[in-house]
Amino acid sequence: MKLDRRSTIPLYAQLKELLSDRIRAGDYAPGEKIPSELAFCKELDLSRPTVRQAISELVTEGILIIVKGKGTFVAPEPEKIELKGFNAFAFSFLSARELDGLHDLTVEMAEADSETGRLFDTAGGTGHAGYWKIQWQLTDEDRVFALCQSLIPVYMFPELGNDLRQKRRMIEITANKYAYLPQRANCKIRVRPADPQEAGELDIARNSPVLVSTSRLVSRSGNVCEVVRAVMRTDLVTIGLDAGRS
Put simply, whether the predicted model's pTM sits higher than 0.75 gets the answer no
136 dihedral zone (left: phi>0; alpha: psi -120 to 50; beta): beta
Name residue 106's beta-bridge partners.
135
| Half-sphere exposure in the Cβ direction for 190 (13 Å, CA) | 7
Per-residue pLDDT tens digits of the chain, which is 246 residues long:
678 888 999 999 999 999 999 998 999 999 999 999 999 999 999 999 999 999 999 998 888 999 998 999 998 887 888 898 899 999 999 999 999 999 999 999 999 888 888 889 876 555 578 999 999 999 998 899 999 999 999 999 999 999 999 999 999 999 888 899 999 999 999 999 999 999 999 998 888 899 999 999 999 989 999 999 999 999 899 999 887 776
Domains present along the chain, CATH in parentheses:
11-74 (1.10.10.10), 81-239 (3.40.1410.10)
**CB atoms inside a 10 Å sphere around CB 157:** 20
Are the C-beta atoms of 119 and 151 separated by less than 8 Å?
Answer: yes
